[in-house]
Structure 1
Amino acid sequence: MRKKKIIEELIKEGKEQGYLTYKEIEKYLADDILDLDKVEDYMIF
């Protein structure tokens, strides 16, 4: 459930700003992603 909440927060922030930076994505997902190459998998959402 934690990942779902994090993804929802990322989507909300992205919609408000109109974009997300890799730094912002890393801030939310740093604890959940060991390999930053996997960030692109999350960006599909």
Structure 2
Amino acid sequence: MAASDTDRRIVDKLVLGNYEEHVGNAINPFFSSVKPVPLVYGK
């Protein structure tokens, strides 16, 4: 089986400062921080 045939989908949860949760695709399976960080919208 080739690497391109392998499902590499990573789903993670984002928790905002008001404790609102959003679930979506992620690019990194590891925790990025244990403290709050700013949310940036890079359009």
TM-score under structure 2 length normalisation: 0.19
Where is the strand percentage greater, Structure 1 or Structure 2? 2
Where is the helix percentage greater, Structure 1 or Structure 2? 1
Larger Rg: 2
TM-score under structure 1 length normalisation: 0.19
